[in-house]
Chains A and B, each alone.
Chain A
């Protein structure tokens, strides 16, 4: 009986793993197909001139933000620009991603770009890259257990938080709001974006003497934002005039919660609401005046990597950490410029053209 059971279990596991593999293949086919075409192009390219072979190990394709990041790579590393891009989509599986990097090494890429799914477990494969003499760029997320890469290109979350604070200061002054009582809906505990955005905003808040009534975890999700905001509306009924949501989805949730509680927000409302990330639906909300401002987290790392490659080709030493330029969007044309870290930055007034021009 037991043997039978074991056999059955094993068969089932096998069938399932086969099914799982099947699913995996579907997902992998697309990039593999792309690889095939790019490799052919490479063959053609080598005869026509020196194309730079570049491998990009992407996280997956879970959001519009991610799609924008992938598209930006395709645009920048095109054949016209002198590149031959091999793209790999790891579907949020680090093992697959590391395998993709190993494949890139075998194919003898000139450069490799990695958007690491997790921050650790990279030292071995990055050492292999180093031994093979292939420069590696890390984009977006960070690698904690190795420094065997040329540069990291990503967002400066603290600057985003500061920009939010500086904009709020200028906006409040222009509107004649003297007292700021802010509620913060944080992202997932421990995420670099959460830490940076919290710190940046708090720095300005402390300097200006604002009150941060509460700061709770909304897990970067709409449901989380909704639940936290519902609780805020009960705890701080009528006491708050600013809500800071650390990503767009939390802001969508916070808006439904405030609708239910009868709190008005946005351009003509009692409460100023802002978000981070600036996905297209969020910019749309800003255009419609439902949200006052949104602060971008730029997915387009490829142009910056392009710059670094040019520096390397010219024999220069690029910086280890490169922060991308990001834009700030506001619903009203009141504040047009803010100063963050001693640097003047424009605040874009959202119009239909601005929205249409957004790539993600």
Chain B
């Protein structure tokens, strides 16, 4: 009884229940279709590569998972969202590809045609992400501009700058080496490894240093934290830089998947997915306390919904409606009034149980 109570009160309990519910839909569907109930969860090796729905979710959800790391920190520290991450992804990818292919070149098909070594392009993308993050961070932390307004600038300009860098073309780098970051290392999809590495690094950073506590403290009360001796502005700035860096990494993954820089489409609407991931993870968008693991689970929940739509074969015209319904359900389950109601329900049950025992 005590264990159960502890379990349900964990902050991660509801996000995990939600993702399991989404996955459960597939079990029901597969059974109705006369397939094995575990069909959705089968992981196999096909053509020497890992394959299966779960692998797909982990693989395709990587970009949003990476973005959600930075977004969680930003939300926590500044009580606002960075809506530029999708555009920054596109900008970083375009910059990376432009450096590698050379300006104005529309297609590269062998490493000999590279204008610069690939590593320069990759570092360039990360640097571009950091720069964009620093720009957002300066506006928010030092000029006290509302996060949404501040990041709105790059949200609209980022993609356009990316297009300029790529001379308004889709630039192709049809070279296997460049495709590595969106492809496979051995049998494992590289994006999964990259996302895992990002999660690991940030987790260690938050656990081993006091940064996590500082961020939460600034998010809860900026003034009090400053009086307590924290450099609130610098911490908020740092969160935005990290968020930009995450966007840069996600941009590399996204462009490597398609071995090209499609400025118009890379990361399109992904900022919304990242914000949703933070919210689905049970984090408050009003800042303060955060749970990184929740956001990551949230990110994969979003991808799980998408993959479920594919599995169910929902026609593409109506799938956004289905997605919306699922999201409403998940958010409603986690809404405070409903939570309180559940609590009251279990409390009265426990009380009734006690009375019976006493009587």
Q: Which residue of B170, B266, B313 contacts A63 across the interface (Cβ within 8 Å)?
A: B170
Q: With A63-B170, A260-B184, A261-B51 as given contacts, are A23 and B160 in contact (CB-CB < 8 Å)?
A: yes
Query: Does any Cβ of A come within 8 Å of B307's Cβ?
Result: yes
Q: Which residue of A9, A23, A221, A260 contacts B262 across the interface (Cβ within 8 Å)?
A: A221
Q: Mark B67-101, 1 if CB is under 8 A from A, else 0.
A: 00000000000000000000000000000000000
**Nearest residue in A to B263 (C-beta to C-beta)?**
A62
Query: Does any Cβ of B come within 8 Å of A32's Cβ?
Result: no
Beta-carbon contacts under 8 Å, B19-78 to A: 46-49, 51-53, 56, 60
Contact yes or no, A223 B51, CB < 8 A: no
Query: Does any Cβ of A come within 8 Å of B144's Cβ?
Result: yes
**Nearest residue in A to B145 (C-beta to C-beta)?**
A9
Contact yes or no, B258 A234, CB < 8 A: no
Bound-state CA distance A66–B83 (Å) is 30
Contact yes or no, A61 B168, CB < 8 A: yes
Query: Does any Cβ of A come within 8 Å of B356's Cβ?
Result: no
Q: Which residue of B262, B265, B317 contacts A189 across the interface (Cβ within 8 Å)?
A: B317
Bound-state CA distance A233–B307 (Å) is 13
Q: Mark A229-265, 1 if CB is under 8 A from B, else 0.
A: 0110111000000000000010011001000111000
Contact yes or no, A231 B307, CB < 8 A: yes
Q: Mark B133-174, 1 if CB is under 8 A from A, else 0.
A: 000000100011100010001000100100110001110100
Query: Does any Cβ of A come within 8 Å of B110's Cβ?
Result: no
Bound-state CA distance A256–B183 (Å) is 9
* Minimum CB–CB distance for A248 against chain B, Å: 11
Q: Which of A214, A227, A228, A261 is packed against the most chain B CB atoms within 10 Å?
A: A227
Q: With A62-B264, A221-B262 as given contacts, are A234 and B257 in contact (CB-CB < 8 Å)?
A: no
Q: What count of chain B residues pass the 8 Å CB interface test?
A: 44
Q: Which residues of B contact A227 (CB under 8 A)?
A: 60
Q: Which residues of B contact A226 (CB under 8 A)?
A: 257-258
Contact yes or no, B316 A253, CB < 8 A: no
Query: Does any Cβ of A come within 8 Å of B254's Cβ?
Result: yes
Q: Mark B111-147, 1 if CB is under 8 A from A, else 0.
A: 0000000000000000000000000000100011100
Bound-state CA distance A234–B60 (Å) is 14
Inter-chain residue pair count (beta carbon < 8 A)? 88
Bound-state CA distance A249–B310 (Å) is 20
Interface residues on A, range: 35 or more
Contact yes or no, A235 B262, CB < 8 A: no
Contact yes or no, A216 B316, CB < 8 A: yes
Query: Does any Cβ of A come within 8 Å of B260's Cβ?
Result: yes
Bound-state CA distance A252–B179 (Å) is 13
Contact yes or no, A215 B46, CB < 8 A: no
Q: Which residue of B106, B168, B266 contacts A62 across the interface (Cβ within 8 Å)?
A: B168
Contact yes or no, A253 B258, CB < 8 A: yes
Query: Does any Cβ of A come within 8 Å of B315's Cβ?
Result: yes
Contact yes or no, A63 B169, CB < 8 A: yes
Query: Does any Cβ of A come within 8 Å of B107's Cβ?
Result: yes
**Nearest residue in B to A227 (C-beta to C-beta)?**
B60
Beta-carbon contacts under 8 Å, A258-312 to B: 260-262, 281
Query: Does any Cβ of A come within 8 Å of B311's Cβ?
Result: yes
Q: Which residue of A217, A222, A261 contacts B260 across the interface (Cβ within 8 Å)?
A: A222
Contact yes or no, A262 B47, CB < 8 A: yes
**Nearest residue in B to A225 (C-beta to C-beta)?**
B258
Beta-carbon contacts under 8 Å, B249-299 to A: 254, 257-258, 260, 262, 264-266
Q: Which residues of B contact A61 (CB under 8 A)?
A: 168
Bound-state CA distance A228–B48 (Å) is 21
Q: Which residues of B contact A261 (CB under 8 A)?
A: 46-47, 49, 51
Query: Does any Cβ of B come within 8 Å of A20's Cβ?
Result: yes
* Minimum CB–CB distance for B140 against chain A, Å: 12
Bound-state CA distance A230–B313 (Å) is 14
Bound-state CA distance A62–B264 (Å) is 9
Bound-state CA distance A241–B169 (Å) is 33
B residues whose Cβ falls under 8 Å from a Cβ of A: 46-49, 51-53, 56, 60, 106-107, 139, 143-145, 149, 153, 157, 160, 163-164, 168-170, 172, 179, 183-184, 254, 257-258, 260, 262, 264-266, 307, 310-311, 313, 315-317, 319
Task: For the complex of A and B, list the 7 residue pairs with the smallest distance between their C-beta atoms, beginning with the closest.
Answer: A262-B47, A217-B316, A231-B310, A222-B258, A221-B265, A216-B316, A223-B258
Besides the known contacts A61-B168, A261-B46, 14 further A-B residue pairs in the complex with CB atoms under 8 A apart? A5-B144, A8-B143, A12-B139, A222-B258, A222-B262, A223-B262, A224-B265, A231-B56, A231-B307, A233-B51, A235-B310, A253-B258, A261-B47, A281-B172
**What are some 16 contacts across the A-B interface (CB < 8 A)?**
A5-B143, A9-B145, A62-B163, A63-B169, A63-B170, A64-B169, A189-B317, A221-B265, A223-B258, A230-B60, A234-B52, A249-B262, A260-B184, A262-B48, A281-B107, A281-B172
